[in-house]
Amino acid sequence: MDRKTLKNLEPSRIINGSRAGIISTKLFLNVFLHALRSSRNPFKVISELNTFSKKRTKIQGYSKINRYLKHEGKYHFADQIPGFPSGTFRRFFEAELTRVRGNPEQRILMNTLIFSITSRCPLNCTHCFESENIASKEHLQLDDLLVIMEKLKVLNLTHIQFGGGEPLSRFDDLLRLISNAKSDMDCWLLTSGYGLTLEKARKLKKAGLTGASISLDHWDENKHNLFRNNTKSFQWVQEAVKNCHQAGIIVNLALCATKEFTTADNILKYYELAKEWKVGFIKILEARKVGRFKGKDVTISQGQIEMLRNFYLETYTDKKFSTYPIVMFPGFDQRQVGCLGAGNRYMYIDSKGELHACPFCQGSVGNVLKIPLTTAVERLRSNACQVFPVSTF
């Protein structure tokens, strides 16, 4: 992607330094006034916000938010947290405040759902976590998906990720689901980028899409294509990034950090490429024994985890990264406070409607079309994460 093309494509940009400080002050005042409306006691609110901030620092590992992604007048500091200011951000904050206040009635306070809407996919990736469900025919009809979306309303979600399979393989239904959901929550796409043309990107934007998480598993084109078993995959990722920028869709690059990839040199080169492509976020997902990786020795070493952890924290503390994309590393949060999936802050529905802790810890607790969601969440919380204890945070 030549620099001139990139120069003209800047729907979202990183805000740092003193300007980020001003945004943080505005954010604090906004949530303070909002919390005061339901508390009337400013001292109590100050202590609640203090608890909230300590929790956020514990989970994310850094106290000061040193940069935001500005997109269409809203400021984002994490991919799964709605942009501020917005009604969706206020609802996100209300749920977090309810956790701080410990309101027993409010048993379900999830904010994110990962929803596999199709079993079809043009790719055949080495690590496919959905491999057991991939098929040429859909397991769920559009009516089933619409019923599920209706049922989800009890969860008061603020963020939904439509995945698959390849969700672009079910494009018209995807547009329908996004336009149905957008008023309630931020809609994101989990995609390989395969076939994400400018025309499709514009239609997704018009339907209400906020962001696209595009899978890129190496900075080296050949190594990425090898991992994805497709000679055009890297090109499509590049094309998809460019088309999303042009359509005004936030871009996250999602990396499957394998043993082979996870070196300090590779992660830095990947980060440099993400900056060059002007993406807003990168997300580091450790390889897990699920799908095509089930039973395989894919878990990265303690040394590699340590390297990723230090890299992640450095991107928030080292000034040289202040203009780089914002880094998400769920493996950091999970080691800090336990698993935030498994019905805590998020869960996963696969392309058959089965409910799981997350895409990487699969074990169904029931089918969303057959059991009440509240029951499913209870079951998820009791035993679902296979790697970390379910967080109480």
Which residues sit at the interface with ligand SF4, rule CB under 6 A? Answer: 121, 123-125, 128, 130, 164-166, 192
Q: State the minimum distance, in angstroms, from the CB of residue 343 to ligand SF4.
A: 23
DSSP code string of 47-63: HHHHHHHHHHHHHHS-S
Give the rounded distance of the alpha carbon of 223 from its chain centre. Answer: 24
DSSP code string of 75-137: EESSTTS--BSSHHHHHHHHHHHHHHHT-TT------EEEEE--S--S---TT-TTTTT--SS
* Six token digits for residue 323: 């203009």
Nearer to ligand SF4, 358 or 390 (CB): 358
Q: State the minimum distance, in angstroms, from the CB of residue 105 to ligand SF4.
A: 38
* Six token digits for residue 106: 């409010």
Q: State the minimum distance, in angstroms, from the CB of residue 147 to ligand SF4.
A: 23
DSSP strand pairing (250-257 vs 209-215): parallel
Residue 31: strand, helix, or coil: helix
Residue 214: strand, helix, or coil: strand
Q: State the minimum distance, in angstroms, from the CB of residue 321 to ligand SF4.
A: 29
The residues pairing with 255 across neighbouring beta strands, listed in sequence order, are 284
Q: State the minimum distance, in angstroms, from the CB of residue 205 to ligand SF4.
A: 22
Q: State the minimum distance, in angstroms, from the CB of residue 192 to ligand SF4.
A: 4
Q: Please give the C-alpha separations between residue 323 and each of 13, 19, 49, 275, in angstroms, as whole numbers.
A: 9, 13, 28, 8
